[in-house]
Amino acid sequence: MSHPLPAGDQFEALGDANRRTILRLLSTGDKPVSEIAAAMTISRPAVSRHLRLLKDAGMVAEQAQGTRRIYHLQEQGMQAVRAYLEDVWSDVGVRYRLTAENTGTGSVPGGAVPGGAVPGDRRPRP
């Protein structure tokens, strides 16, 4: 099954700890590059490179305010990741249910949890 994502690779963008830190920083509000760089242990040029990759992946956007660039989270890129993961996990839940129903055992080899839940996931299930 194909799970299309918009231009840019959000999962590549999420694969780096510095980029995940930048996303966490921006989750609290819009910030200029200088403020993001001040909160990190990497150089300002490195922060700018990470921001460019996040921007290309559609996860952040920038807005000019005078000579400064203010960055904020871009909902479209984040929604694409969420939709992809929900699609994949819903497929897993369907396969589990079919396997459990067809084997009559109520358990699936490999440690799957009934209802398609992930061990340790405490979110309520419908």
107 lies in some domain: no
Domain count, the chain: 1
Give 20-68 pLDDT, tens digit per residue.
999 999 999 999 999 999 999 999 999 999 999 999 988 999 999 999 9
Q: Kindly report the number of other CB atoms within 10 A of residue 120's CB atom.
A: 6
pTM value is: 0.63
Give 69-114 pLDDT, tens digit per residue.
999 999 888 888 888 888 877 777 777 777 888 876 555 455 555 5
CATH classification of the domain holding 44: 1.10.10.10
Here the tokens at position 106 are: 């109520």
64 lies in some domain: yes
Which domain, by its residues, includes 14?
A: 10-74
> How far apart, in whole angstroms, are the C-alpha atoms of residue 49 and residue 26?
16
63 lies in some domain: yes
pLDDT above 70 as % of the chain: 75
pLDDT value, residue 5: 44
